[in-house]
Amino acid sequence: MSKMGLEIKKRIGNKKASRFTFQNMLRCLEDPEHPSAGPYLRFLNLTGNWHPNMELKSTRFKQLVFYITMTLFFSQYLKCVIGLSLSAFLFILQTAPFHMGTPKTIYFRKDHHLWQKLIDYISRTELRQLSDEDEEVIDVMDEYIRKSRRVIYLYWLMAISCNISLFTEPYKKNQIVENGTDIYVPLFHFYLPFNQDIPPGYYYSMVLQTILGNIMSSYVISWDSLVISTFIFFAGQLKISRVYCTKIIDSKSKERSHENIIECHRFHTSLIEHQKLFQKLISSVMFLYLIVVSINIGSCIIQISRFSGDLPVMMGAMIFVFGILVQLLTFYWFSNQVTVESLSVSSGIFESKWTTMDAKTQKEVALLQLTTSNRLCFRAGPCNEMSLNTFIGILKTSYSFLTLLKGTK
């Protein structure tokens, strides 16, 4: 490993190594070439969605698994439409956030070259900043990388818990009715070349469904992890952009001040350019996700309203709504942080010694201030801004819907 790689590994995750933390426990996931995105790229590589080397046999095997998984899941959607099975449709509706793995994976693979461009920019930027050895910049980087690790590792823990709950639920519903007929509840309704309604075919299908279900879940979790960490990256880099703005003026050298202004301008415009690229990559998926969440919340609210006397059903619906809202809040919270940080970048210019410079340099500073005052935001689709105000609006709408249903009883 190179000297720079050793230094990065030392900085990322090795501070206070004696303490037991998620970061220290999962330190083996770190990648010196990708300071912030390393663990999530390893996860994506495990799923086969991140495949820099297609010549490897393991990569080809993962591609085969992907096509099998997508084929069987699409067979479920096709079976639901052709067979007009209400129970199958309701199950898909109830677990729709889980099925978001289909569009997330398809869009990621379709735009793989753009994701590669974005990830290369992220890692290249962080490696350059680490090599510059600016302690203030490195402290900001350490802070947002540690935040990313805490958030994502807790998110993984929550996802594992949800998986255990989801994949054990059918066994709890298996029963024997009064006439002695056994009823076996499946996880999914795939097209398979054997009878899935009774053993041993039922157990064969459940093994296959559990394996493919966990693979689909890994697609969802890996995509979410990368997107959330990228939100955190942009918020952190906007803080670093503000740090650069405070250091643009060198009172001893007009030429040096001019170079600093140019470099600061170049860094910020590059950040905006890649923020727009990231917006393009996630906009369609987040719009679909917003629709899915809205439908899920509506259906769960109807369940809560209709079965208010059935405590298990009501509690299950409430927990499911809470889980959906927590997941949605995670995206919107860190997206909102990017917007907040973008509004504070230009204020760093006023902390510099710009008043000591001549009129020409002050004009350059004014132009830089205009460039760095752009408000950055992310949108789910053409018009839905991913902000806390939007999230609060979703909560208000859901509450109004629940109130309306209760009032019409």
Q: What is the pLDDT at residue 137?
A: 93
| pLDDT higher than threshold 90 for residue 174 | no
Question: Contact 32/8 with Cβ under 8 angstroms?
Answer: yes
For residue 32, what is the DSSP state?
Answer: T
C-alpha angle 163-166-169 in degrees, rounded to nearest 5: 140
Q: Which amino acid is at 285?
A: V
How many angstroms separate the CA atoms of 214 and 224, rounded? 15
Helical segments of 85-134, H only? 86-94, 96-99, 101-110, 112-132
DSSP 8-state class, residue 51: -
Tell me: pLDDT of 283 over 90.
yes
pTM above 0.85, yes or no: yes
Residue 196, φ and ψ in degrees, nearest 5: -100, 0
Rg, Å, the chain Cα set: 25
Q: Would you give the DSSP letter of residue 346?
A: G
Is the pLDDT score of 258 beyond 60? yes
Tally of residues, the chain: 409
Per DSSP, 18 falls in state T
Query: Got the DSSP string for 200-212?
Result: THHHHHHHHHHHH
The pLDDT assigned to 359 comes to 87
* Pair of tokens at residue 264: 């600061």
% of the chain surpassing 90 pLDDT: 34
Q: Supply the pLDDT for residue 17.
A: 45
Are 386 and 331 contacting, i.e. CB atoms less than 8 angstroms apart? yes
Lookup result for tokens 């190179």:
2
Characterize the bridge pairing of strands 182-183 and 379-380: unpaired
Report which of residues 192 and 340 the model is more confident about.
340
Cis peptide bond N-terminal to 200, omega within 30: yes
Residue that wins the pLDDT comparison between 376 and 12: 376
Which two structure tokens, joined as six digits, stand for 128? 């350059």
The verdict on whether omega for the bond into residue 170 sits within 30 degrees of 0, i.e. cis, is no
Is 289's pLDDT higher than 70?
yes
| Amino acid at position 62, single letter | K
Max avg pLDDT among 80-94, 230-244, 366-380: 230-244
Contact 146, 36 (CB under 8 A): no
The Cα 385–Cα 270 span in angstroms is 22
Question: How would you classify residue 133: left for phi > 0, otherwise alpha for psi between -120 and 50, otherwise beta?
Answer: left
**Binning pLDDT at 50, 70 and 90, where does residue 402 land?**
low
Mapped onto helix, strand or coil, the DSSP state of residue 182 is: strand
Average pLDDT of the chain?
A: 82
Lowest mean pLDDT among 187-201, 315-329, 382-396: 315-329
- In angstroms, the Cα distances linking 275 to 119, 149, 268 are 12, 21, 10
Question: Per-residue pLDDT tens for 119-161?
Answer: 999 999 999 999 988 899 999 999 999 999 999 988 888 888 7
What residue spans of 174-253 are helical by DSSP H?
201-246
Contacts of 363 (CB under 8 A, 6+ apart): none
pLDDT on residue 160: 83
Tell me what pLDDT residue 55 has.
Answer: 77
